[in-house]
């Protein structure tokens, strides 16, 4: 998928859709026993998604050990 030639609004909409998809994926794959706590379970795709969501302000990474990332939700709107 290319964003070349797309308007700013189209790009923002795409980023929003991708963010929502990652939020849902992380919520399903990375939820640990504690409320609001997330764990990548040492899976690279989960760790990468969590780091990306943290860079967008949805998560706060609390610990990192290579592929293992632990985090918590930053905002209640991001929590599914």
Contact 46/28 with Cβ under 8 angstroms? no
Residue 7 lies in a domain: no
Full domain range(s) for residue 47: 32-80
Q: Is residue 70 in some structural domain?
A: yes
**Over residues 3-29, mean pLDDT:** 88
80: pLDDT strictly greater than 70: no
Q: Is residue 18 part of a domain?
A: no
pLDDT at 4 over 70: no
At residue 76, the pLDDT reads 61
- CA pair distance 17, 40, nearest whole angstrom: 21
The per-residue pLDDT for range 28-50, each reduced to its tens digit, is 999 887 777 999 999 999 999 99
Stretch 46-65: mean pLDDT, rounded?
95
Q: How many domains does the chain have?
A: 1
């Amino acid at each position: 998928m290319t964003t070349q030639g797309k308007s700013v609004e189209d790009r923002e909409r795409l980023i929003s859709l991708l963010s929502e998809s990652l939020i849902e994926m992380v919520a399903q794959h990375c939820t640990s026993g504690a409320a609001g706590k997330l764990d990548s379970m040492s899976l690279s795709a989960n760790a990468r998604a969590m780091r990306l969501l943290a860079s967008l302000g949805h998560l706060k990474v609390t610990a990192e050990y290579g592929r293992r990332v632990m985090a918590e939700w930053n905002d209640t709107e991001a929590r599914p």
